[in-house]
Chain A
Amino acid sequence: MAKSNTSKHKTVEYGRYGYYFIAPFFIVFAIFQLWPLIYTIGLAFCENYYDTMWNAEVGPYFNGLANFATIFKSTEGTYFDTYTFRALGNTLIMWFMNFAPQILLALLLAVWFTDTRVKIKAQGAYKVLVFMPNIITAATISVLFYKLFDYPNGPINQLLVNAGIWEQPYQFLATKWATRSIISFINFWMWYGNTMIVLTAGVLGISPSLFEAARVDGATSWEIFKNVTLPLLRPIMLFTLVNSAIGGLQMYDIPKLLTTSGRGDPDFTTRTITMYIRELAFTGARQMGKAGAASLVLFVVTLFFSLVLFYIMRDKDAIKEKKAIKAAQKARKGAN
């Protein structure tokens, strides 16, 4: 009895060290992430810009929902037809154009690399090379592609004209869908290797006996993929989806450094939401208030995706257990 008392005392005493160990993280988080977030949300409800004529800052003064009005409602009075939502739309379009082929190719490669029947011996080398673009500076890659798709004498135009595919060089970066496709391609090219490695690890995590059992039952490779691999891989694929969506919403470096003026050419059709926020806040009239409101919109959309992830990833067994306990308690109460 006395012994258990002392050991209990001990854990309580050492417990306080836990606070010391986690303190730096929470202090830094509060100062450098939480406070800026609150500050941004606060600015969203304020009038704050730089008067270039008087060379002076205006505000921040509280002005309610005025910033949001300009973000949701265009000058013609239509809703969602604003620069903010167009930028958000551009971002989502370019994210989806990269994600759809990315997940398909990654899935195909993951299945190939884990196939025990058709072995790919050099897969170590393939993984190293396919993943490589992921760790190269996005800024450098963007400027490189900017040079490669140069008009009229960039290497791609030279190749296409030399090969006789096109008679005239093509102005890739002055065409909406060509520019969007290039940005999506760069994202795809940088990230499918990463997704492939994650999914490969996922397939390897599936119990081999399941595959064996399916094979003994005479299932074809396609049936095994459809009925064993895919359902068991779903949580990881959804995790990849949400992760990629959240990352994609913040897309900045590539469109910023690839487009000719750095403002999402042509005609702002490749301007992403983060590019727009920074344009609002740091150029011209420096509309910090409106930028704050646009940030809040981005935050809400990001939060939505995170909550979807949390909902999907929630511990279903734990919830079931809780429900069972509650039901049991109810039953006992009823019996009493």
Chain B
Amino acid sequence: MNKEKDGGLHASIMIQQIIRNAICIFLCLLSLIPFWIMIVNATRTSVAIQSSFSMIPSTHFMENWNNLLKQAATQASLWRYMGNSLLIAVSSTVLSVYFSTMTAYGVTAYKFKGANFAWAFIMAIMMIPVQVSSIGFFRFMYAIGWGNNYLPLIIPAIAAPATVFFMRQYMISALPLEILDSARIDGSGEFRTFNTIAMPLMKPAVATQCIFAFIGSWNNFYTPSMLLTSQVKFTLPMFVQQMRGERFRSDHGMIYAGLAVTIMPIFIVYFILSKYIIAGVALGGVKE
């Protein structure tokens, strides 16, 4: 009798497993299908795209790709936009992660008057989005001659409260303060201690935050589209916006190819680093 009950329980678990896996697979397909349609259409001619739906790739990718390069080049090369995005993303990532670690180190490793207040302040400003002050930001940047310039897209990355928050959480568990004392006894200066002892110990957190800072900057459309005016300075998301316009509208294959190409770099980065990205999201979310 006991055995029978066990069997029934086992069967119900099996059924549950099948249902749950089926729903998960459906959701995974939901994530993939829009991108799959994009890739398929990037390999089809504009006429074919207009006349029928297909999930099977065709052979016209190079054609679309060459058209795209040619059409983009009438204003600025596609590589240029990619280079611009890369330059901004790399510089702001380096600044953001380095200075955020430094800030977290300052409030964690030193006891000074106002340290608690500084920390509370960083927590408080974490929730203020850039959008609410963008009018003042825009006017201020143009007033000091930084409009149509990359500096306003890079320098503000130094003050990234969310990154500081993450760094401090990690630092509390990963950086024993006794090490700093022994470095002092060995005669190491405070900044040298930070650069040669604290930074290396923070490597896992630094790596995680580098990924997030890079993706955030690479995907940013709001600020660049507000500040940048000359075509050669445009970033990749701004080029994506242009693909909706007159110049591209007629050739559907070319637009899909353009979208596919702009997504590829981040696709590749994601599938290499997905393990760390998901672990980072889980860590960042569990804020006390």
A contact residues vs B (CB 8 Å cutoff): 11, 14-22, 24-26, 28-29, 32-33, 35-43, 109, 112, 117-120, 122-123, 125-133, 135-141, 143-148, 153, 155, 158-159, 162, 189, 193-194, 197-202, 205, 236, 239-240, 246-247, 249-250, 252-253, 256-257, 274, 277-278, 281-282, 288, 291-292, 295-296, 298-299, 302, 305-306, 309-310
Contacts and interface: CB of A to CB of B under 8 A. Distances in A.
Given A19-B106, A120-B17, A139-B221, A246 B127 contact: yes
Interface string B225-247: 01000000000111011011000
A148 B30 CA distance: 14
A156 to B, nearest CB: 9
B139 A288 contact: yes
Which bracket fits the contact residues of B?
35 or more
A239 B127 contact: no
Given A118-B20, A292-B135, A39 B283 contact: no
Contacts of A133: 31
Interface of B: 13, 16-17, 20-21, 24-25, 27-28, 30-32, 34-35, 37-38, 41, 49-53, 99-100, 102-103, 105-107, 109-113, 115, 118, 122, 124-125, 127-140, 152, 155-156, 158-159, 164, 184, 190, 194, 215, 218-219, 221-222, 226, 236-238, 240-241, 243-244, 252, 255-256, 259, 262-263, 266-267, 270-271, 274, 277-278, 281-287
Given A19-B106, A33-B128, A292-B135, A253 B222 contact: yes
Contact of B28 (A19, A130, A257, A292): A130
Task: List the 8 closest pairs (A to B, CB-CB), nearest first.
Answer: A21-B106, A39-B136, A198-B285, A18-B110, A40-B136, A15-B112, A36-B136, A36-B137
A36 B133 contact: yes
B194 A21 contact: yes
Contact of A137 (B122, B130, B240): B240
- Tell me whether chain A's interface is mostly helix, strand or loop, or mixed: helix
A194 B244 contact: no
Contact of B282 (A200, A240, A288, A305): A200
A128 B266 contact: no
A199 B282 CA distance: 8
Given A138-B221, A197-B278, A21 B102 contact: yes
B243 A17 contact: no
A140 B267 CA distance: 12
A131 to B, nearest CB: 6
A302 B279 CA distance: 28
A197 B275 CA distance: 12
Contacts of A239: 285, 287
A197 B281 contact: yes
A128 B282 CA distance: 13
Contacts of B13: 117-118
A3 B109 CA distance: 22
Contact of A155 (B53, B137, B164): B53
A323 to B, nearest CB: 20
A252 B136 contact: no
A109 B194 CA distance: 41
Given A17-B110, A25-B159, A129-B32, A137 B219 contact: yes
B159 A18 contact: no
A309 B262 CA distance: 37
Given A25-B164, A140-B237, A120 B21 contact: yes
A6 to B, nearest CB: 13
Per DSSP, chain B at the interface is: helix
A33 B133 contact: yes
Given A25-B99, A120-B17, A298-B131, A127 B221 contact: no
A32 B139 contact: no
30 contacts: A16-B112, A17-B190, A18-B107, A21-B194, A22-B106, A25-B158, A25-B164, A26-B159, A41-B136, A43-B139, A118-B17, A123-B24, A129-B32, A137-B219, A155-B41, A158-B52, A189-B30, A189-B31, A197-B282, A198-B281, A198-B284, A199-B285, A236-B285, A239-B285, A246-B129, A252-B222, A253-B237, A281-B135, A306-B127, A310-B124
Contacts of A282: 138, 226
Nearest to A305: B127
B24 A39 contact: no
Contacts of B38: 144
Given A32-B137, A236-B286, 9 more contacts: A18-B110, A25-B99, A33-B159, A109-B24, A140-B240, A147-B41, A201-B283, A274-B222, A292-B136
Contacts of A278: 134, 226
A232 to B, nearest CB: 13
A136 B244 CA distance: 18
B236 A137 contact: yes
B111 A11 contact: yes
B262 A135 contact: no
A202 B112 contact: no
B262 A137 contact: yes
Contacts of A253: 221-222, 237
Chain A CB within 10 A, most for which of B136, B158, B218, B255 = B136
A143 B190 contact: no
Given A33-B159, A155-B37, A189-B30, A281 B138 contact: yes
